[in-house]
Amino acid sequence: MKLQNKIALITGGGRGIGRAIGLKFASEGAQVILAARSVDQVKQAASEISRETSARVLPLVCDVSEVASVEWLFKSVKEYFGRGPDIMVNNAGIAESAPLTKTDDEQWHRHLAVNLSGTFYCMRAALPEMIEIGWGRIINVASIAGKTGGPYIAAYSASKHGVLGLTRSAAMEVAAKGITVNAICPGYVDTEMTTRGIENITKKTRLSAQEAMDSIKKMSPQNRIIEPEEVASLALLLASDEGRGINGQAINVDGGTLMF
């Protein structure tokens, strides 16, 4: 059991990558908190993981873009477990597309609020206790869009670039304190976010859903999209003692789409 006696808090935990990470961590002995905005989704995910692993999984509702909501989240974790998380996975995120000239203020600020500020708020709340005990893991789920640009994703890409800067700066601050801070940069993953992307492509082009999926697959040299479990396996490495030498990194899980 690689995470025995560890407490792991995962935002965006109601589905997709967050749910897969929760399942992986629970199967390795962690006590897991899943946080998400949708109460129904997060409760269902927690129930399924508990049933499958017999682990202790706590579902909590949180909007990471709101400081007060994040503060309530961490207060609730401490009340339930008696201490804060040893492992913080910042997975909550949104992805919307629009040409730059048609990206309105609301869309721009929404991406920064959820993807970047939400990650910052949770890191800021988690780190003090990790520093105090001399052990901790911060894992930020970013994107390969945080390393390169792309048409129609200016707000998303900018927010994920920010997550990588935040990750690297924090990693330097806490490197000597028993804490690592890393980012995972997935390509297209088989989640609802990708499904919505395909729907958007079909609306704006003459491509069918299958043709849109095929075009996405061809972006990877492996000609496929990534499974959430692949991202979860990397998260497990970064969360465990086996990954203690990995710090300040932004690791791609994309089949070789980007090689930097």
- Catalytic residue IDs: 156
Distance, in Å, from the CA atom of 156 to the CA atom of 180, rounded to the nearest integer, reads: 25
Q: Which two tokens stand for residue 92?
A: 């909550």
Q: Which residues contact 41 (CB under 8 A, 6 or more apart)?
A: 14, 15
Q: Inter-axis angle of helices 39-53 and 16-27, to 10 degrees?
A: 30
Question: How many CB atoms sit inside 10 A of residue 200's CB?
Answer: 16
**DSSP H helical segments within the chain, as ranges?**
16-27, 39-53, 67-81, 105-111, 118-133, 154-174, 192-204, 209-217, 228-239
Distances (CA, A) of 227 to 127, 165, 208: 30, 26, 22
Neighbour-count burial of 55, counting CB atoms closer than 10 A to its CB (0-12 exposed, 13-18 middle, 19+ buried): buried
Find how far residue 80's CA is from the centre of its chain: 23
Which residues touch 23 (CB under 8 Å, ≥6 apart)?
49, 52, 53, 232
Residue 124 near residue 166, CB atoms below 8 Å: no
Identify the three-state secondary structure at position 125.
Answer: helix
Count CA within 13 A, CB hemisphere, residue 106. Answer: 0
